[in-house]
Amino acid sequence: MAARTRRARVTAATLTLGVAAGGAALALGTASAQAADRTKAAAPAKPHVTIDTRSTKPLNVRMYPSEDATDVGNLKNGTVVGVDCKVRAQQVQDSTYWYKIRGKEQWITAEFTKSPSGTAPLCKDFFPAKQATQQGKAVG
């Protein structure tokens, strides 16, 4: 009976250590994933810009590069946003450039951005086939 009790204790201790080790590995994996998420959120791929509305008001995101375009959302002051390209369009205060938000058909004026990281190409260079198709040219 004593041998059976000792075996039961050893088995219980082994299981407890195994569960604890597995939990520690899971916690370590979760911490690594959370650190990776923070890194992604802190620095999107280049080019990117930082929103600077010069106030606490958020920056309106537009459907097209114009203040007359539909407002499709907003970005808080200090938000870092990845951009695909830029166009010259409606002048907003001192700037005529608008940035296309990366991966979306949404636009923000360059007037209320700062700290560009990387160089945003002109959209006509970023989407050359799209521009040629819109102008009625055959793309081959």
Looking at residue 21, what is its pLDDT?
Answer: 47
Helices (H) and strands (E) in the chain, counts: 3, 7
Is 58 in contact with 68 (CB distance < 8 Å)? no
- For the cut 80, the answer to whether the pLDDT of residue 14 exceeds it is no
pLDDT tens digits along 24-61: 444 445 444 454 444 445 567 889 999 999 999 999 99
pTM of the predicted protein model? 0.62
Looking at residue 136, what is its pLDDT?
Answer: 57
Window from 22-26, 40-44, 61-65, 80-84 with minimum mean pLDDT: 22-26
Per-residue pLDDT, averaged over 49-77, amounts to 96
HEC sequence for the chain: CHHHHHHHHHHHHHHHHHHHHHHHHHHHHHHHHHHHHHHHHHCCCCCEEEECCCCCCCEEEECCCCCCCCEEEEECCCCEEEEEEEEEEEEECCEEEEEEECCCCCEEEHHHEEEEECCCCEHHHHCHHHHHHHCCCCCC
pLDDT tens digits along 89-132: 999 999 999 999 999 999 999 999 998 898 999 999 987 765 55
